[in-house]
Amino acid sequence: MANNPYLSVVIPVHNEQESLEELYKRLTQALDKLGKSYEIILTNDGSTDKSAEILQELHNRRPDQIRIIEFNGNFGQHMAIMAGFERVRGDIVITMDADLQNPPEDIGKLVAAIEAGHDVVNTHRESRQDTWWRLTVSRWHNKVRAWMMPKLVMEDEGCMLRAYRRDIVDLMASTGEATTFIPALALSYASNPVEVAVGHASRAAGESSYSFYGLIRYNFDLITGFSLFPLQVFTLLGMLISFCSFVFVVFLMLRRLIVGPEVEGVFTLFAILFFLIGIVLLGLGVTGEYIGRIYQEVRKRPRFVVRRVIEKK
Ligand code: UDP
Ligand code: MG
């Protein structure tokens, strides 16, 4: 391409028919105001509502600037962004949600940070507008994440309005992982990241695509993708328990020699046993999470399938 745009905005779309028109209006307005050349890449992640038609229509309105990637099923938010990353043409890449929870007007702030020399611009949401249970889960999750993955310096990993320099995006697109968490992946490649505050609104229309269970799966992706900590906990726990059992055995042996054989205390023994079985099961589960993901990767199935790309060549 002779004249590549300066900015690429990548947006995953899953059942967002109510938001797309408003998104188009506010986003193009905000970008036009910046006065830089830009493209908007929208990935239709297997929407079952009218999103596909609306996206086609948006492309028709600005064929030079709006490119649509259409998946042939639902591959998840991060894969939808990845597909955009594989095709970006701009020097600076912005990711954001389609539901307008991230204000497009804040893009200028992110671009300024990249221009100031940062390669990754993380964000945290000022006065976050979400349901109370999302806020509570998120607060605890952020604490646990900070503790398990101290290298991931991020105040708020859920906010997807972020900016990346193109070389970081190319690196991310080339990793080929099927389960990943883009902000964390970006940080692992960043040499000069920064964090800025952006606004946050409640969802104007439509519904969150994430159920409670969905959020749990999503967080497992983050944890298993970027940390071996859960596995190491079981190694350490195993060592600790082995040591305690050894002391216990020595104690029982001495007791038998000195006091004589014992028959009481069977239920205490059961309690200890059940507790240990619980730990073993949990450990198996955690190991299984990792193995499942390893299995996914080694099967080498395509991580997403693009049905078609609507763009002006
Ligand atoms: N999304 C997607 N595929 C999915 C789930 C979500 O492309 O399987 C998109 C969705 O359209 C939105 C963004 O990812 O643009 C964030 O999703 P959502 O607003 O449902 O999540 P929340 O804001 O509740 O975390
Ligand atoms: Mg949202």
**Residues near 31 by Cβ (< 8 Å), separated by ≥ 6?**
7, 9, 38, 40, 104, 107
Least confident segment among 92-96, 195-199, 226-230, 251-255: 226-230
Say yes or no: CB of residue 76 within 6 Å of ligand 1.
yes
Give the total number of structural domains in the chain: 2
Side-chain half-sphere of 81: how many Cα atoms within 13 Å?
A: 25
Strands 162-165 and 120-125: antiparallel
* Residue bearing the CA closest to ligand 1, atom 23: 208
Q: How far is the CA of 137 from the centre of ligand 2 (A)?
A: 15
| Together in a domain, 86 and 149 | yes
Q: How far is the CA of 129 from the centre of ligand 2 (A)?
A: 10
Over residues 274-288, the mean pLDDT reads 87
* Residue bearing the CA closest to ligand 1, atom 24: 208
| Together in a domain, 142 and 256 | no
- Domain that includes residue 80, residue range: 7-210+302-310
Look at residue 218 and tell me if it is in a domain. Answer: no
Flag whether pLDDT at 162 surpasses 60: yes
Flag whether pLDDT at 2 surpasses 70: no
pLDDT category at 24 given cuts 50, 70, 90 is: very high
Say yes or no: CB of residue 45 within 6 Å of ligand 1.
yes
In 3-state terms, what secondary structure has residue 266?
Answer: helix
- Quick one: which of 99, 95, 76, 104 has its CA closest to 18? 99
pLDDT category at 213 given cuts 50, 70, 90 is: confident
| Together in a domain, 295 and 306 | no
Over residues 3-9, the mean pLDDT reads 95
| Together in a domain, 129 and 33 | yes
**Residues near 13 by Cβ (< 8 Å), separated by ≥ 6?**
20, 42, 43, 44, 45, 47, 51, 55, 80, 98
| Together in a domain, 146 and 264 | no
| Together in a domain, 268 and 281 | yes
| pLDDT of res. 190 | 93
| Together in a domain, 240 and 115 | no
> Cα separation of 303 and 86, whole Å?
13
Say yes or no: CB of residue 82 within 6 Å of ligand 1.
no
Q: pTM score, two decimals?
A: 0.83
Of the two residues 137 and 10, the one the predictor is more confident about is: 10
| Together in a domain, 156 and 283 | no
R_g of the chain computed on alpha carbons: 25
| Together in a domain, 263 and 174 | no
Look at residue 243 and tell me if it is in a domain. Answer: yes
| pLDDT of res. 61 | 97
Flag whether pLDDT at 309 surpasses 80: yes
Look at residue 2 and tell me if it is in a domain. Answer: no
| pLDDT of res. 261 | 77
> Cα separation of 4 and 166, whole Å?
12
Say yes or no: CB of residue 74 within 6 Å of ligand 1.
yes
